[in-house]
Structure 1
Amino acid sequence: MSTVMAALPCAERTPAVEAELNYLAPGTTRPVNYTFEPPAGTPWSSGTLDPRRVTIRNARPLAEAGEISLDRNGFQLISHRSAVSDFTDESLIRLVYRPEAEALLRDMTGAEKVVIFDHTLRDSANGSRASSTLREPVRRVHNDQTFVSGPRRVRDHLDAEEAQRRLSHRFAIVNLWRPLSVVEQLPLALCDARSIAAGDLVPTDLVYRDKTGETYSFLANPQHRWFYFPRLRPDEALLLKIYDSLENGAARLTAHTAFDDPTSLPDAPARRSIELRALLFWPAKTDAH
């Protein structure tokens, strides 16, 4: 399901940039991240960071050539203009944007059912990890689910009978990531799923007020191939593969992080974005396992 990409100005065709990404240091005990202010004396995030300077390639030419896809690389650029212009209005997000996103995800992936289970607004100037409504960009290499927590999400959001039935066939979790203005600072770096090894993944606790989830942190690996899409616009969006139950060689997850783009101007506007995380379910006939 290809999309027609508009002609791009030269500024968006920078071949690559060099930037620092925050990996997890080897030998770190199981990291813990809090989604709310932790108890006194407890850090928001544990685990020692291991910053590494890497090459991050411009993926726009590859996307235009049809060489980037969700199942091959773990991420994909799509062209889509939302009917919502005011993302500060929670009712518009729930009544307009979520149904719009469900239809888009079905169309782009062929899934027969889509269940959006959360959304997050981010703002690099005004967002805070202490806020549940407006968060700051995450500057650590991570993936939002693990091979353990992915199936848990199905049980969390479907009744027991349907969950049992859906878990016997292919399902995935996908992040639909959209900028709310042209991204001029802190773009998203995306790791080609084919360059990730099992030993790079570090299960990490994500503590909510009512439960503990699990995400992946990542160890540095010189084989990682990093990409980004310069100056993403609000009429564009990214699909990120967070989990896939299918074990047929397709991407099962990817890694991503915000990064300091060395080409950004010092007075560049704040990065504003919204992400939706959704369960995708396919009929039994699409299974290959």
Structure 2
Amino acid sequence: MTTTGEFRYLDPASISAGIKPWSKVDGAYTSFTLTPRRRSVTNLRDHLTPDARPGTFGSDIDVSGFAAYHFPAAEKSFTDDSAVRTGYYEEVKTLLRSKLTGKISHIEIFDHTIRRHDPTSPRQPVQQVHVDQTPAAAENRVRRHVKLPPAELDALLKRRYQIINVWRPIGHPATDFPLAVIDWRTTKPSDLVPVDLLYPIHHRAAGDDDDDDRGKETLPDMTKAASTEGYEVKGETYGVLPSEAHKFYYVKDMTPDEALLLKCFDSWGEGKPGGRKGFAGWTPHTAFVDPATPEGTKGRESIEVRCLVFYDE
């Protein structure tokens, strides 16, 4: 089963050599423009089997960069930030340990975002094909969030580590603005453009000087959308250039009892120094409008949890 959608790529005509593009994490503005392309999107459910083994497309994140699972969570409302950071984080760790292959030594969850397709929500579904982390950003995340002496961090970075985004609908199926993913095997490095990710520093005005942005999102001031004042660079993502080769997938009507794993980075990804042939390195993804969505469908609500996964390998 397939559908179609309009996918918004980084427009190569809107970027200049020697000038790094940027975007705001709150979606207020980008320094570049997007160019639309219509693409076919295949329902990933058509490829899933309950007894899939490692190496199976759609059920092994190393194959295509994404994997979907039926994995109900005890947390249902996601309205209590402390409950998300404690109980749900532990559920995410259990999911990763049960589905990822390899000898996991520990998991560090450093971020989560709740998105609602609602004008009052500070975080909306993102309609831009992108990858959450570049290799430089992944290493910076380790150095920023893992509390170890520098020498031990250097040793840790020599072993395998990943950044995995665990995505789940909240409350009702994600029929509205579903998430589409691209099979990384249909991409190439030249499709990817590093983009500085700007975070607002509004919460520091109240004397909050910690480095944790979770739960502090507010609606951006759209009268100053084009300005970088009040923002700082705290990450780096990849914008993705258009390509006819890209193959898109989604989980139609994905429910809150299901989870989608997206690989943002893997030090074993093919093509990286020390990488392994056939191991997915990244997962371009985006929200999109499914033309088959019934009128009056409830707006999408979802949570994504970003995890550093370390291995004894």
For the residue of structure 2 that corresponds to 1:101, the secondary structure is: helix
Equivalent residues of 2:8, 2:127 under 8 A apart: yes
Correspondence 1:106 to 2:106: no
Match status 1:251 vs 2:237 = no
Give the aligned length: 260
Query: How far is 1:127 from its partner?
Result: 5.2
Q: Contact between 2:196 and 2:233, CA under 8 Å: does it hold in 1? A: no
Residue in 2 that maps onto 1:40: none
SS in structure 1 opposite 2:185? helix
Matches within 5 A, 1:27-176: 27=13, 28-29=15-16, 30-35=20-25, 44-64=29-49, 66-68=56-58, 69-109=60-100, 110=102, 111-126=104-119, 128=121, 131=122, 135-158=123-146, 159=148, 160-176=150-166
Comparing 86-95 with 262-271, which one deviates more in the overlay? 86-95
Which 5+ residue runs of structure 1 have no aligned equivalent? 1-14, 38-42, 285-289
After superposition, the C-alpha distances for 1:198-239 in whole angstroms (9 at most, x for unaligned) are: 110010010123543100000011110110110001110000
| CA shift for structure 1 position 102 | 1.4
CA distance in structure 2 between the partners assigned to 1:172 and 1:201 by the alignment: 18
TM-score computed with the length of structure 2 as normaliser: 0.80
Matched, 1:237 2:259: yes
Work out the CA distance in 2 between the residues paired with 1:187 and 1:125.
15
Give secondary structure in 2 for the equivalent of 1:136. Answer: coil
- Superposition map of 1:194-209 within 5 A: 194-208=185-199, 209=201
Does residue 16 in structure 1 map to residue 16 in structure 2? no
Cα-to-partner distance string for 1:21-45 (whole Å, 9 max, x where unaligned): 00011142332112359xxxxx721
Q: Return 5+ residue gaps in structure 2 as ranges.
A: 202-231, 269-274
Stretches (4+) displaced over 6 A: none
Following the alignment from structure 1 to structure 2, what is the Cα–Cα distance between the partners of residues 144 and 90?
22
CA distance in structure 2 between the aligned counterparts of 1:59 and 1:36, rounded to whole angstroms: 29
Higher relative contact order (CA 8 A, sep 6+): 2
Q: CA deviation at 1:126?
A: 4.3
Give the aligned residue type for 1:52.
Answer: R
User: CA offsets, 1:1-56, max 9 Å, x none?
Assistant: xxxxxxxxxxxxxx11111000011142332112359xxxxx72121211000111
Distance in 2 (CA, whole Å) between partners of 1:238 and 1:259 is: 16
* Alpha-carbon distance, 1:112 to partner: 2.1
Q: In percent, how many aligned pairs have the same letter?
A: 39
- Please tell me whether residue 267 in structure 1 is matched to residue 288 in structure 2: no
Which deviates more, 206-215 or 252-261? 206-215
**Which amino acid letter does the alignment assign opposite residue 85 of structure 2?**
R
* C-alpha contact 1:106 1:112 (8 A) present in aligned 2: no
Match of 2:184 in 1: 193
The RMSD of aligned alpha carbons is: 1.6
Q: Distance in 1 between matches of 2:296 and 2:106?
A: 43
Check the 8 A contact 1:106/1:113 in 2, yes or no: no
How many angstroms apart in 2 are the aligned matches of 1:250 and 1:142?
19
AA aligned to 2:294 is: L
Distance 2:83 2:241 in 1: 39
Distance (whole Å) between structure 2 residues aligned to residue 36 and residue 76 of structure 1: 27
For 2:119 and 2:154, the matched residues in 1 are separated by: 41
Q: In 1, distance between residues paired with 2:301 and 2:189?
A: 32
The alignment's TM-score, normalised by the length of structure 1, stands at 0.86
